[in-house]
Amino acid sequence: MEGKMPLLGARFPEIEVVTTHGKMKLPDRFRGKWFILFSHPADFTPVCTTEFVAFQKRYDKFKELNTELIGLSIDQVFSHIKWIQWIKDNLNVEIKFPVIADDTGRVSSILGLIHPGKGTNTVRAVFIVDPKGIIRAILYYPQELGRNMDEILRMIKGFQVSEREGVAIPANWPENEIIGDEVIIPPAMDEETAKKRMEQYDCFDWWLCHKKLK
């Protein structure tokens, strides 16, 4: 439904977009890969410029995790191209990921990225989408607060470890205050399994067991 942000666990809406790398169909363009779609309020703005540089500085780390980046704002593609050129000329950083030109506001409307109290600019939103096109996380920031890209990297790593190992990820992982870089075993759902868990893993109690990653 237009105007409402999609829900976690829903399939990312099928949208054809115009980008600085040409036309694309989402989520099909990134089928088999994780991707992060992030919106920014406008080109040629200070916080957004710092964010683009920060994403680009970590682009290789995202790619190592089979993850692509794609930006978005309600600007024309010509504005995106000129801004990206400005970043390269003045900050010596080449933006290598595509940026969606949503000058009609159609894509932003579908994704619920227009805050009624903030005019027509897009908010700072982040969609983390898995290789099957399913939305796994949504982050929503105000215009005045820039994002922490290391946290977004951590989330991708956490999702992938959780899926591969069948575990849960503790707070501040891999530097958790209780179990460090270890991961959490999902709680047992019956008495027999609860007893075995206490024998198989390090546990504070039957419902809080943890292990090291191999």
For β-strands 124-129 and 34-39, DSSP reports them as: antiparallel
Q: pTM higher than 0.95 for the full model?
A: no
pLDDT by residue (tens digit) across 164-187?
999 999 999 999 999 999 999 998
Helix ranges (DSSP H) in the chain: 46-57, 59-64, 77-91, 106-111, 149-165, 191-200
Q: Domains of the chain, with CATH numbers?
A: 15-146 (3.40.30.10), 166-211 (3.30.1020.10)
The whole-number pLDDT of residue 2 equals: 47
Q: Which residue reads 């704002």 in tokens?
A: 73
- C-alpha to C-alpha distance for 189 and 186, rounded to whole angstroms: 9
pLDDT by residue (tens digit) across 143-164?
888 999 999 999 999 999 999 9
Name beta bridge partners: 170: none
pLDDT by residue (tens digit) across 24-66?
999 999 999 999 999 998 899 999 999 999 999 999 999 999 9
In our burial notation (b when 16+ CB lie closer than 10 A, e otherwise), range 150-162 reads eebbbbbbbbebb
The whole-number pLDDT of residue 119 equals: 56
| Catalytic machinery residues | 48
